[in-house]
Amino acid sequence: MSGRLRGSASIVGLGQTEFSKSAGRSETRLAAEAIVSALADAGLPVESVDGLVSYTIDPVEETELVRSVGIPEVRWSSRVPYGGGGSQGVLLHAAAAVAAGVAEVVVAYRAVKARSGARVGRAEVSGRASSSHAGTTAGQWCTPYGVLTPASWMALNATRYMHASGATSEDFGRAVVQMRAYAAANPNAHFAGRPITLADHQASRWIAEPCIRLFDCCQETDGAVALVVTGADRAADSRAPVAVAAAAGAGVFEEEVASNHYRPDLSVMDSSVALAAQLFDEGGVGRDEIDVAMIYDAFSPILLMQLESLGFCGRGEAKDFVADGHLGPGGRLPCNTNGGLIGGGYIHGLNLTGEAVRQLRGESCNQVGGATTVLVTSSRTGVVLRRG
Amino acid sequence: MVTGDNEGFWSAAEEGRLVVQRCAGCRALHHPPRPMCPDCRSVDLGWEQAVGTGVVYSYALLHHPQHPAFEYPVVAALVDLDEGVRLVTNLVDVEPHQVRIGMPVEVAFEPTADGFAVPVFRPRGAP
Ligand SMILES: [Zn+2]
């Protein structure tokens, strides 16, 4: 599938609201603002939009969005199952719709009030009545045991990863220090101007021992991001198009995002292994072509786990890859140059896509010189984006 | 959340029994339970009592955030039963920092705040 979509769609517009701890307005308004901003960036009128895609956990109702933004006719809409793990799936869906000719201009969006609304990381015993995690394996089998939050779900995998790889909390901390250094230089980041040291990381309290400290966690954020996707031919007229060179999703679909507890070897992210096969092997992209990587870092252990499962380093070698500075400027794989989800903010991964677009436009606060190919992944979904 | 697909597990737990779903078609064991066997597509699925012994596959000591229904740190664990299936559970009767991957454990049953009994595990040989 990914091979057939190769280069047939492009991102032509990027819009986002400010990222804050309290947006003071509804998710629907945040989504509407980001979409209008993205369309302005694309140079396209609202009336041109005929497709919508988001995540199943997004709280914005399509009806309210359409009647607020004033989209006259939606010909196609879709949602990618669950949350951040599916974040790059919105581009797979949008590219597929455009390639199939069922929509011409698709807006992909995600709006969250994680900080001031229903906080993702807050312990809740009753599942919410949406297609989030209420009726799935995580809710049914974790809740009775006090395993209530994404951090606690993921911690069970991360401890096993530490056991298999020899990685320590300090190893995770070195990745966090790099994310926070990038964030410090990004005025739009949650932690703008606030770098940390490894000692600061080690002094932050345990959320889930022995793997996740407070500073290992993404920053719950209020905000929205929108992307405008259209066909490559139509994109040629736009200011700074970014081609969707490869898009893939699903992988091993036994997990929503961080609640995969039943695969045989939890030190490996099987979904990322499957994703890499789709993007790199079937998609015809070489790992050595990737100039910048945006890798879903809801919690720092999964950043190291994905580096291995995506094949950027061998099993157990991510700790050395990080310690050698390869995620930083001048490294082999500059990673999460907006500060990631840990330092930049948590719009469930779609802000990582936004940073990828900025890198390819040469507009990042931590610009990687000559970046032409950027990978964006979120465990089970991913895209390779190219300039032009 | 009790549903038609998992109620056998929780009602057995209330009786102090740990059960695992077994497929009558191909004899495979499955956990979490499901309405169809993914190996042979049989819908003839039943419950079988487990021996109740296993080893700790992974664990985490949960400190924050805290919910009033639980004592902290919550000792969360994945236990691989000797039958070959894995459970999310809690470890009891163990000092949290003594928990290790590979530790042999056996099932015990603890009442919950809302009156259910849940299978938990303690170090094998503990009193
Ligand atoms: Zn069967």
Range of the domain at A52: 9-116+223-387
Give a yes or no: residue A140 inside a domain.
no
Q: Which residues of B touch A (CB under 8 A)?
A: 1, 3, 6, 31-32, 57-67, 69-70, 73-74, 76-78, 86-90, 101, 112, 116, 118, 120
Q: How many domains does chain B have?
A: 2
Contact at CB, A262 and B58, closer than 8 angstroms: no
Q: Tell me, yes or no, whether B67 lies in a domain.
A: yes
Task: Tell me the pLDDT band of A128, cut-offs 50, 70 and 90.
Answer: very low
Asked if B61 lies within 8 A of A142 by C-beta distance, the reply is no
Least CB-CB distance to A145: which of B31, B32, B88?
B88
pLDDT given at position A250: 60
A210 interfaces chain B, CB cutoff of 8 Å: yes
CB-based contact, A40 to chain B, within 8 Å? no
Which CATH number goes with the domain that contains B55? 2.40.50
Tell whether A143 lies on the interface with B, counting CB pairs under 8 A. yes
Query: 3-state DSSP: chain B helix, strand, coil percent, rounded to 5?
Result: 10, 40, 50
Task: Name every chain A residue with its beta carbon within 8 A of the beta carbon of B73.
Answer: 209
Write out pLDDT tens, residues A217-238. 998 899 999 999 999 888 988 8
Active site residue A346: yes
Question: Which of B58, B70, B120 lies closest to A160 in CB terms?
Answer: B58
Contacts with A137 from chain B: Cβ below 8 Å: 32
Whether pTM > 0.80 for this model: the answer is: yes
Q: Name the one residue in this structure whose structure tokens are 């999460």.
A: A336
Query: Phi then psi for A291, rounded to 5 degrees?
Result: -85, -35
CA distance B116 to chain A (A): 9
CA distances from A87 to A9, A54, A184 (A): 17, 8, 25
> Residue A194 falls within a domain, yes or no?
no
pLDDT tens for A181-208 read 999 999 999 999 999 999 999 999 999 9
Rg from Cα positions in chain A = 19
Could you tell me the distance, in angstroms and rounded to a whole number, from the CA of residue B41 to the centre of ligand 1? Answer: 6
Distance to chain A for B53, nearest Cα, Å: 18
Q: Does residue A209 fall inside a structural domain?
A: no
The answer to whether residue A124 is domain-embedded is no
Mean pLDDT of chain A: 90
Contact A253, A96 (CB under 8 A): no
Long-range contacts formed by A260-264: CB under 8 A, 24+ apart: A260/A157, A261/A137, A261/A141, A261/A153, A261/A156, A261/A157, A261/B78, A261/B86, A261/B88, A262/A137, A262/B31, A262/B32, A262/B86
Number of structural domains (chain A) is: 1
State which H helix or E strand residue A3 sits in.
helix A2-5
Among A55, A109, A182, A346, the one annotated catalytic? A346
Inter-chain touch B1–A160, beta carbons under 8 Å: no
A130: Cβ–Cβ under 8 A, 6 or more apart, which residues? Answer: A56, A57, A59
Q: State in Å: Cα B32 to ligand 1 middle.
A: 14
Dihedral over alpha carbons A48, A51, A53, A56 (to 10 degrees):
130
Distances (CA, A) of A12 to A49, A116, B117: 13, 31, 55
Question: Which pLDDT tens digit goes with each residue over A93-120?
Answer: 999 999 999 999 999 999 998 777 766 6
User: Domain residues for B8?
Assistant: 1-50
A147 has a chain B CB within 8 A of its CB: yes
User: Does B92 fall in a domain?
Assistant: yes
Supply the CATH number for residue A337's domain. Answer: 3.40.47.10
- Chain B residues lying within 8 Å of A147, measured CB to CB: 62, 74, 76, 88
Per DSSP, A20 falls in state B
Q: Using an 8 Å CB-CB cutoff, list chain B residues near A159.
A: 58-60, 101
The answer on B69 and B104 residing in a single domain is yes
Say whether A147 and B62 touch across the interface (CB within 8 A).
yes
Say yes or no: B35 and B56 in one domain. no
User: Is A274 within the bounds of a domain?
Assistant: yes
In a domain, B3, yes or no: yes
Q: How confident is the model at residue A284 (pLDDT cuts 50, 70, 90)?
A: confident
Query: Which residues fall within 8 angstroms of residue A204, CB to CB, at 6 or more apart?
Result: A213, A214, A215, A216
What mean pLDDT is predicted for residues A244-254? 74
Write out pLDDT tens, residues B4-30: 778 899 999 999 999 999 999 999 999
| Inter-chain CB proximity A140 and B86 less than 8 Å | no
Question: Residue A108: inside a domain, yes or no?
Answer: yes
- Report CA(B33)–ligand 1 centroid distance (Å): 12
Check whether residue B66 and residue B28 sit in a common domain.
Answer: no
Q: Are B38 and B65 found together in one domain?
A: no
> Which of A258, A246, A281 is CA-nearest to residue A356?
A246
Region A28-54 average pLDDT: 97
Q: Please check whether residue A257 is in contact with residue A150, taking contact to mean a CB–CB distance below 8 angstroms.
A: yes
CA distance A133 to A111: 18
- DSSP 8-state class, residue B31: S
- H/E segment holding residue A181: helix A169-184
Q: What is the DSSP letter of A342?
A: I
What type of residue is A217? C
The string of DSSP letters for A293-319 reads: EEE--SBHHHHHHHHHHTTSS-TT-HH
Task: Give the contacts of B15 (CB within 8 A, at least 6 positions apart).
Answer: none
Q: Across the interface, do B88 and A205 touch by the CB < 8 Å criterion?
A: no
B24 lies in a domain?
yes
Active site residue A145: no
**Average pLDDT rounded to a whole number, residues A357-365:** 97
Asked whether the beta carbons of residue B65 and residue A157 sit closer than 8 angstroms, the reply is no
The lowest-confidence range among A50-59, A69-78, B10-19, B111-120 is B111-120
B chain contacts of residue A211, beta-carbon cutoff 8 Å: 60
Q: Is A206 on the interface with B (CB under 8 A)?
A: yes
- CA dist A267 and B118 (Å) reads 27
Over range A283-287, report the average pLDDT: 91
Residue B30 covered by a domain:
yes
Contact predicate A348/A226, CB 8 Å: no
Give the residue from chain B lying closest to A209, CA to CA.
B61
Sheet holding B29-30, edge to edge: B29-30, B19-23, B45-49
Residue A333: pLDDT above 80?
A: yes
Nearest Cβ partner for B6 among A127, A140, A147: A140
